[in-house]
Amino acid sequence: MRIDVVFGATSLTPALVSGRVVAVIDVLRASTSIAAALANGARTIIPLDSIDEVITRAKAFDRSEVRLAGERKMLPISGFDLGNSPSEFSREVVEGKTVLLTTTNGTSALVSVQGARDAVVAAYVNFSAVLALLGTALRGGADVTLLCAGRDRQLALEDAACAGRYALQLRARAEEAEMSDGAAACALIATQYEGRLEEMLEASEHGRALRDAGFQRDLADCAAIDAYPVVPIYQDRQITRLGPDRER
C-alpha cells in the first residue's frame, strides 16, 4: 500500500490513477466549494473545463434546475449565477440543483482523473469524512493518490499542507503504508502549520491574491476543519454525495 502525492494534473500518470483511490485537493477554493454545495443539498455537481462547456450543458436543463458557477482569475464569470466562494453555495441557492462548475485549476484536475477505483474531492472542510474513506481503502490494500490541483501548474502551499495532513493521518491508521517523497515532504509542511491553518492560507500566494481581490472571508471558510462533513464522489463525470444510498 502506498500514499503518493502528485502536484498538478499534468504530473498524473495512468499508474497513479488506475485502480487507485484518488483524492483531488483544491483547498482554495474549488474543493471547499464543492463540499459546501453538497452539504447544502446540491443534487449533483458537474465539473467542466470551459465556460463554453458550461453554457452548452446548461441548455440540456430547465433553467430553474441548474446553477452556473465558477471563476476565472478568481472572479465570478459574467452571466453565471455563482462565483467560487464557498459561502455562495448556500442551501437557499443550491438545494436540489445541478451545479455546472468551471474553475481555473480545480475542475480541470478533477476532469483529468479517469480510471480510478474511486475519486473523491478533499479539503479541510470535509477532512475527517474523506479521511475515513481513504483509511478504509488503504487498510483494505488500496494505494492512495492525493492530487494537489495547485495554482497555474505550480505547487500551492495550501494544497500541499492539506495533502500532508491526509498523508500523516493515513499513515497513523495504516503504519505499513509506504509514503512517496512527495507525501513525506507534504507531511512536513502540514506539521509546520498544524493549528495555524488560517495563518498558512494568509501566507500562501493564492491566499494573498484572494485577499487582495476582496475574498478575505473565504480564507476562514476554507480553513474550517470538518465544517462540511461530506464525501463528494466523482463518478461518470459528475460529483455526488456519498450517503446511505451510495455506500462504498
Q: What is the binding site for ligand MLT (CB under 6 A)?
A: 26, 28-30, 71, 74, 84, 103-106, 210
Number of CB atoms found within 10 A of residue 96's CB? 10
The string of DSSP codes covering 169-228 is: HHHHH-TTPEEPHHHHHHHHHHHHHTT-HHHHHHHSHHHHHHHHTT-HHHHHHHT-TTSS
Residues 6+ away with beta carbon under 8 Å from 103: 26, 29, 30, 70, 71, 84
Measured from the CB of residue 104, what is the shortest distance to ligand MLT in angstroms?
A: 4
Instruction: Please say which residue, 82 or 137, places its beta carbon nearer to ligand MLT.
Output: 82
Measured from the CB of residue 109, what is the shortest distance to ligand MLT in angstroms?
A: 8
Measured from the CB of residue 218, what is the shortest distance to ligand MLT in angstroms?
A: 8
Instruction: Please say which residue, 35 or 210, places its beta carbon nearer to ligand MLT.
Output: 210
Instruction: Please say which residue, 8 or 182, places its beta carbon nearer to ligand MLT.
Output: 8
The amino acid sitting at 110 is L
Residue with cell 462533513: 229
**Residue 68 in grid coordinates:** 452556473
Instruction: Please say which residue, 59 or 73, places its beta carbon nearer to ligand MLT.
Output: 73
Strand partners, 178: 2
In angstroms, rounded to a whole number, what is the distance separating the alpha carbons of residues 216 and 69? 19
Measured from the CB of residue 74, what is the shortest distance to ligand MLT in angstroms?
A: 5
Measured from the CB of residue 177, what is the shortest distance to ligand MLT in angstroms?
A: 29
Instruction: Please say which residue, 40 or 84, places its beta carbon nearer to ligand MLT.
Output: 84
Cis peptide before 29 (omega within 30 of 0): yes
